[in-house]
A and B are shown apart, each in its own frame.
Chain A
Amino acid sequence: KNQVEQSPQSLIILEGKNCTLQCNYTVSPFSNLRWYKQDTGRGPVSLTIMTFSENTKSNGRYTATLDADTKQSSLHITASQLSDSASYICVVSGTNAGKSTFGDGTTLTVKP
């Protein structure tokens, strides 16, 4: 069964600090892995997209890594801001980017 496991479930950090979120998956075949940021009551917003051949992708203060051999990805946030407080969701797609498997998300809280 295709699964996406994220850790930690929740995380609290101080403003300005860095953090790393983890995603392990068992989706096969593999097409791409996406990280989304979801604010409470809002739709997910795409942060990064990585295909099989990509090891790292950056979007501002967000850097995602992918190890397709071990089926692991991470999302690193540098110099966190209060506005980074949200749920971060890892989504893995097989052959169709729509029928994807979503992780449960990591709830990040950034405190002043």
Chain B
Amino acid sequence: EPEVTQTPSHQVTQMGQEVILRCVPISNHLYFYWYRQILGQKVEFLVSFYNNEISEKSEIFDDQFSVERPDGSNFTLKIRSTKLEDSAMYFCASRRAPGQHNEKLFFGSGTQLSVL
């Protein structure tokens, strides 16, 4: 089965530093997402991205966050100045087509971000 690939699997950073989390969605997918999961809590939606622009974002996704699709394969999440509370597992996900409500959503294995 096709996979969404995320790198790195673990990222440790100092508070205030910038981090970039990388994702390679499945090649023929058009809709991309970032989610996060704080330890012991539920998965939370951050942002969805389609046609090279953000289509929806949550209240968590403030000015410290940005997403980019710099080339035809990568999808990145940047946190400009990390805070302690940004420590979480960040999941990238993708699906094939927009507007298809029964389309399967594929998740990557996640990047565990630890802010010290």
A104, B102: Cβ atoms under 8 Å? Answer: no
B72-116 Cβ-contact flags toward A at 8 Å (1 or 0): 000000000000000001010101000001111111111010000
A102, B43: Cβ atoms under 8 Å? Answer: yes
A105, B33: Cβ atoms under 8 Å? Answer: no
Query: Does B68 have its Cβ within 8 Å of any Cβ on chain A?
Result: no
B4-41 Cβ-contact flags toward A at 8 Å (1 or 0): 10000000000000000000000000010100000001
Residue from A44, A46, A51 within 8 A of B101 (CB atoms):
A51
Query: Does B58 have its Cβ within 8 Å of any Cβ on chain A?
Result: yes
15 interchain pairs (CB within 8 A)?
A: A32-B101, A34-B105, A41-B112, A43-B108, A43-B110, A45-B107, A51-B102, A89-B42, A93-B101, A97-B31, A97-B101, A97-B105, A99-B56, A103-B42, A104-B41
Interface of B is mostly: strand
Q: How many residues of B contact A (CB 8 A)?
A: 27
CB within 8 Å for A98 and B31 given contacts A45-B107, A104-B42: yes
A46 to B108: give the CA distance in the assembly, Å.
Answer: 12
Interface residues of chain A, those whose CB is within 8 Å of chain B, are: 31-32, 34, 36, 41-46, 49-51, 89, 91, 93, 96-100, 102-105
- Within the complex, what minimum Cβ distance (angstroms) separates A35 from chain B? 12
B104: chain A residues within 8 A (beta carbon): 46, 49
- Within the complex, what minimum Cβ distance (angstroms) separates A58 from chain B? 15
A42 to B3: give the CA distance in the assembly, Å.
Answer: 13
Residue of B nearest to A101 (CB): B45
A44, B48: Cβ atoms under 8 Å? Answer: no
A103 to B103: give the CA distance in the assembly, Å.
Answer: 19
A93: chain B residues within 8 A (beta carbon): 101
- Within the complex, what minimum Cβ distance (angstroms) separates B22 from chain A? 15
Residue of B nearest to A93 (CB): B101
B112: chain A residues within 8 A (beta carbon): 41
Query: Does B55 have its Cβ within 8 Å of any Cβ on chain A?
Result: yes
